Amino acid sequence: MRRFWERVTEGFELEQLWGQFLTEARASYGLYSEDVDWAAIGRETKRWKRPFLVSWALFQAMLMKLAPARRVLLLLALVLLIFHIWSPTRAVNLGWFGAAILFLLLALELADRVTMKRDLEIAREIQQWLVPAHPPQIPGVDIAFATLPQNTIAGDYYDAFLRPTPNASGTHPLLIAVADVAGKSVPAALLMATFQASLRALSATPATLEENVVGLDRYAREHSMGGRRFTTAFLAEIDPVKREMRHINAGHNAPVLLRASGDVERLSAVGPPLGLPIFDGTETFYCANSIELQAGDLLFVFTDGVVEAVDENDEDFGEERLLSCLRGSCHDAAAEVLKKVMAEVSRFVGYTRQHDDITCLVFRLNDQVPDAVPASPFHATAIPS
């Protein structure tokens, strides 16, 4: 029995199981309550009727999530159970038939869930192939990144690689990118894959950073479904030899540049998100800003899932907590900074279900200055996500 219990609970304590149940119950209630006409219930003058109206509306919302045949089976099972409870003789134990039908419905729903989960796991593996498992190893540069999807697959994207075409000084610039496709799960993940392919293809050309972003915007606009699937993105081209960074923020959360001196700079948006429709037929042009970096400077790029993570009181994690966490780890390695931020967000959220994808990229410039940057990056050891 002990081994069976450990297998069922997977080693979780009762408090953890209860917290997990509450999280899932809140999420399920939110899903079903979206289909409830709360305005109509609020117009009911007799207060004692409102709980019954709410229960009936939630039951109908749950019922309509099932396939038509399963709706009939669920109604039949409930009728049998109610008849069994209120039958004066109970000569025929119809309750067992009702319970058997409910168990059959559970088995059917579990089969669908397992099949869908297996397909999503395959999609997740494919998505993981599209993003780097290890950062490029460049002397004087320390990079770490991690992503935490809301569901099995995410609409967030991150990347860090050396462009194959050298710049005017003969150096292969480092390109870092963090993007967030509007929406979640499968639709956002599909557009994320097209964004990755477009970025890699454009970066292999001699085009400038501005020209690459315009090309990304043009492609995103053609596949934005009328502007509903736009993408916010932060892209930066860094010359580790000259310690120069040129960056474009297309409607993304302003990254944090924590200087070695302790000063904080925010790299605000200089253009709209990629893929927003422009009805006059003109293209959006993006202008890159240039920044000189110093040894010890730390760049923290993130998606809105970090600062908009909420706890059980529906309070946002917020940028103040993020900045406080970054200031407290300003001298740590990039991987340590990443771990501290992710741990702080997880501690703040607790058992509350994650509402959005969370992605972070940390870039730090060390004291060592490379004489040149190789065309093909080496791979560093894996950084835990």
The yes-or-no verdict on residue 373 having pLDDT over 70 is no
Mean pLDDT of 90-112: 83
**Tell me: the pLDDT tens digits for 187-217?**
777 788 888 888 999 988 888 899 999 888 8
**Tell me: the pLDDT tens digits for 118-129?**
877 777 777 777
Non-local (6+) Cβ contacts of 193 within 8 A are: 126, 127, 130
Q: How high is the pLDDT of residue 292?
A: 93
Q: Among 22-31, 167-176, 372-381, which is the least confidently predicted range?
A: 372-381
The yes-or-no verdict on residue 88 having pLDDT over 80 is no
In which band, very low, low, confident or very high, does the pLDDT at 228 lie, cut at 50, 70 and 90? low
Q: How high is the pLDDT of residue 376?
A: 47
In which band, very low, low, confident or very high, does the pLDDT at 41 lie, cut at 50, 70 and 90? confident
Q: What is the CATH number of domain 132-379?
A: 3.60.40.10
Give percent above pLDDT 70 in the chain.
89
In which band, very low, low, confident or very high, does the pLDDT at 92 lie, cut at 50, 70 and 90? low
Q: How high is the pLDDT of residue 266?
A: 93
More confident residue, 382 or 196: 196
The yes-or-no verdict on residue 334 having pLDDT over 80 is yes
Q: How high is the pLDDT of residue 33?
A: 87
| pTM, rounded to two decimals | 0.74
More confident residue, 350 or 378: 350
In which band, very low, low, confident or very high, does the pLDDT at 383 lie, cut at 50, 70 and 90? very low
Domains of the chain, residue spans:
2-125, 132-379
Q: How high is the pLDDT of residue 285?
A: 79
The yes-or-no verdict on residue 3 having pLDDT over 80 is yes
The yes-or-no verdict on residue 94 having pLDDT over 90 is no
The yes-or-no verdict on residue 384 having pLDDT over 60 is no
The yes-or-no verdict on residue 300 having pLDDT over 50 is yes
| Average pLDDT of the chain to the nearest whole number | 83
The yes-or-no verdict on residue 9 having pLDDT over 90 is no
